[in-house]
Structures are given as C-alpha cells and as structure tokens.
Amino acid sequence: MLSLRGVTRTYDTAQGGLQVLKGVDLDVFPSEVVGLIGPSGSGKSSLLHAAGLLERPTDGQVMIDGQDVGALPERARTRIRLAKVGFVYQFHHLLPEFDAGDNVALPMRINGVSHSVARARASELLTALGLGERLMHQPAQLSGGEQQRVAVARALANQPRLLLADEPTGNLDPATSQAVFESLRELAKTTGVAALIATHNMELAGHMDRVFALRDGHLEERPAQSQAY
C-alpha cells in the first residue's frame, strides 16, 4: 500500500544542510499496523510527512496504492492525498461547535457527499469505535480518549488506503491509549487500511504488527515486543 524507496530528506538550516532521512526503504501492506519509533528529532514526523504527501522528499520514491506519486505536480498530489490518506495527530483538532457526527462527516462533505449519506457513514464509523451513543455530543462533552477516537473516525471517513498517525495517543493515559489503539487496529483489519503510527509509547509499539526504529536517518526493524530504542 505504501512503499518508500531510498527516501532522503535534508533541511536547509543556518548551519547548512541537515540530513534527517538518509535513504529510507519501507513497505506497509493493507490491514497492517506498523510502528515507527525513535528518539525525539530522529525524523519520524519528516517520514510521515513524506509518506503522506505533505512534503516532498529531497530524493527517493514514494508509492501509494501502486502509484509513484513523487514526481506528480502538486495538484495531483493533493488529490491523491485527499482520496487515499488519512491523518491522526496527537491533538485531534476537532471543531468544537460541531458534534461528533458532523466532525466525522466533514471530510466527506468536502468531497461532495450528501449530508445524510455522510452522517450515516459517520454513525457507522463511530459505532465501530464504540461511540455510537455519542454521535450528537460536542467534543467538550467527550473524554480525551473519546475525542481521539472521533479523530480516528474522521481520518477514516473518506475510506483512505493509508492511515498515518503521529503520536495519536500522546496525551492519553495508558489504558485509554490502549483502547484507542485497539479500535484503530480493529478498523485496519476490517477496512484493509494500512497504518503507520509514530509513537514514543513502547508498550503500544509492542502490540503492532511490525516496528521500525529510526536511527541516524535509517530504519531498523525491531523484533516485536522490543522495549528499547
């Protein structure tokens, strides 16, 4: 679903070029949940931004759903990103004046889906995430973990092929993190979405299908249940 080949990323800084990714190869397959770990500043977000077409890598190939998207013009990349990639962040950025259903419906509405169809699919997704009773609750009426599950539902609203998450449980307690992660994993299995999740949470990483550590700009696969960077 996602293939990265020889991806490099160099930032221009006052001190000269800072090479954060030095030739990253990675495949994430449908229904798979892959963890990305590494110390702060190791380049996890840079990798997710390249994979999610938010930024262009300095060099290398990014393929989504079998299509080489690296060389495409910006407008085509944006179209593919909107159709095929969902994002979850540490802070959910839900719209406070919308209820959970409309927060999840919004990306579909932007894609031209009618209100009733979008609302019905939002209901389905929220039910799958254990929030069927919370459709009409505004974010402020939900707990942190519930809000984050709404954010997961929103990321999956347009049926992306690839889900990218940057510290999705970073501001949650361990039990809630686990619950949000389990919901996400269940949805990966049922929808076939491929998920790549950057996290500092080693406990969570231990529950993923595969785990890679970013170290000095390169990816190293870690044995499952490994507890160390």
**Contact footprint for ligand ATP (CB under 6 A):** 11, 13, 18, 20, 38, 40-46
Cβ nearer to ligand ATP, comparing 99 with 166 = 166
* DSSP-derived secondary structure for 166-180: ESTTTTS-HHHHHHH
Please report how close the Cβ of residue 47 comes to ligand ATP at its closest, in angstroms: 7
Please report how close the Cβ of residue 66 comes to ligand ATP at its closest, in angstroms: 26
Q: Which of 204, 212, 210 is nearest to 184 (CA)?
A: 204
Please report how close the Cβ of residue 176 comes to ligand ATP at its closest, in angstroms: 20
**Distances 164 to 69, 135, 137, 142, 199 between C-alpha atoms, Å:** 16, 24, 26, 23, 11
Cβ nearer to ligand ATP, comparing 90 with 138 = 90
Q: What are phi and psi of 156, to 5 degrees?
A: -95, 0
Which tokens in the block code for residue 188? 């990966």
Cβ nearer to ligand ATP, comparing 40 with 227 = 40
Q: Which of 5, 19, 76, 54 is nearest to 164 (CA)?
A: 54
Cβ nearer to ligand ATP, comparing 45 with 158 = 45
Are 60 and 4 in contact, with CB atoms under 8 Å apart? yes
Please report how close the Cβ of residue 216 comes to ligand ATP at its closest, in angstroms: 12
Cβ nearer to ligand ATP, comparing 103 with 199 = 199
Please report how close the Cβ of residue 211 comes to ligand ATP at its closest, in angstroms: 15
